[in-house]
Chains A and B, each alone.
Chain A
């Protein structure tokens, strides 16, 4: 039985989306850390906390946590983009929906602006950056611009 449980846990971890972070509690950051195989540095700012994960492949991900312990935003930069299914979690379908319907201009950033999710992917080959946040989870005394 123990073995079975362990297997279930492993499978769940492998199926990363269920454990992803935007809109989840702070504890999910450690799962991102495992997924990105990176080192975490924590920093406290007035009104929020930032966990910065630097992955072995050089991608930097910053996760912004509200005083309530919820991840309200994520930002990334590096030579490659991190896995959004992992980072956006239950908000990933919002991105997918936007991708299906958007007209894309060559070289333009990809921008989603809805009540549920703001998402920006920008850059060029060997240089990607962007951010995503949930407007309703951003503490009312903060500007979403902190997510950078």
Chain B
């Protein structure tokens, strides 16, 4: 079902590229051509404005927002423009609150909404996604034409987050217990999440497996009884990262944020630029490329201790969730659970090492300041700062569980690239599982 229109668009772009390659070859003369894979595409606007601010809930920290347009497949007029969609490089696929879809909300059941992904009996595919922090979202999978900047993914499977779901969430999905359904503007702190991580889909091969071994993520609920799809969910029906659905600029993203004050700012404006090395504005340049393993992570070393496959870059993380307060020898705040309150700002130099058979290694230094000073005490008064480049917190409770989560604070004063698994990659990266570069 999906991607029919994409094929046409991709074919169109391919023809343009081919024509360009032929023209080049005939001008250059003599040189044997291995140039057909270089992407010379019709330049589209690949730059989306992105901003960190207090967000629609009014109290968000380090959440990066963009505007996304969702249309009925094939239509350019039956659309909803949805602002305040959080950019999340730690997940994959577009998830939108049903309340933000207006008449396109498929769960209204009046036929005006987006087409859902159905089985042969007409049952609607439902998805439950639980995040590591134990919160979850639940609702149907629908297809939509999704546009951001000048880019468009046609008939893309997206996740509709239901505030009033047709069926109760299956308890089997809540593996980590019930940390709460984040299905409202106040709890999601956004109208949606656009997952722009390293993977093309939000589940992948595991969910294509039969119900005997698939994880509890996708369900059909005939008669209100939810169970795993007997023969799995094909990749084309899984919630898919919008970028891979674009006709061009579809191999990854680049996020550019300005430098900000170490004491924080009320907002910060940057860009999400689509494609890597596909246009004049998104070249890797001298960025170091860290290929990841099948968990989307690379290795970090701090103070002589290696944390294998524990590092990743996640705009969806509020803070640097870096090791733990005991290991670092700094206190957690008494008023902000799990966030750091060192007496003075601490600098940490971390060595990063690529995985997946590549050898890139390099160092970065991050700063972690006192959360109380950055935000104001939990009881108030607050500073009102929402853009913070030195907010930190526990990434585990001891070295055996610790993460090196380069959250949103890492993205200021940098250009960060997220290369998508399986898409074309620059020569010094592998695309087996994707990469981060900065």
A interface residues with partner B (beta carbon < 8 Å): 37, 55-59, 75, 79-85, 92, 95-96, 99, 102-111, 113, 118, 120-131, 144-145, 147-148
Q: Which of B114-122, B143-151, B313-321, B348-356 contacts A (4 or more CB under 8 A)?
A: B313-321
Is the beta-carbon distance between B397 and A96 smaller than 8 angstroms?
no
Asked if B220 is at the interface (CB within 8 A of a chain A CB), the reply is: no
CB contact under 8 A between A105 and B393, given known A57-B213, A92-B177: yes
Closest to A88 in B: B177
Q: Complex: how many Å from CA A125 to CA B132?
A: 8
Is the beta-carbon distance between B400 and A125 smaller than 8 angstroms? no
- Return the CB mask of B187-206 against A: 1 if under 8 Å, else 0: 00100000101010011101
**A79-B295, A124-B132 as given contacts; A145 in contact with B319, CB under 8 Å:** no
CA distance A85 to B176 in the complex (A): 8
Q: Are A104's CB and B91's CB within 8 A?
A: no
B312 on the interface (CB 8 Å rule)?
yes
Residues of A within 8 A of B393 (CB): 105, 108
Question: What are 13 contact pairs spanning A and B, CB under 8 A?
Answer: A99-B178, A103-B337, A106-B316, A106-B317, A107-B319, A109-B321, A109-B338, A118-B397, A124-B91, A124-B296, A125-B91, A125-B202, A148-B400
Cα A144 to Cα B318 in complex, Å, equals: 29
CA distance A128 to B316 in the complex (A): 16
Number of interface residues of B (CB under 8 A): 60
Residues of B in contact with A (beta carbons under 8 Å apart): 63, 90-92, 129-135, 172, 175-180, 189, 195, 197, 199, 202-204, 206, 209, 212-217, 294-297, 312, 314, 316-319, 321, 337-339, 393-403, 405, 407
- A99–B178 alpha-carbon span in the complex (Å): 7
What is the minimal beta-carbon distance from B176 to any residue of chain A, in angstroms? Answer: 5
On chain A, the residues within 8 Å of B319 by CB distance are 105, 107-108
- CB-CB under 8 A from A96, the residues of chain B are 177-178
Q: Is the beta-carbon distance between A107 and B133 smaller than 8 angstroms? A: yes
A122 and B316 contact, CB distance less than 8 A: no
Please tell me if the beta carbons of A111 and B394 are within 8 angstroms of each other in the complex. yes
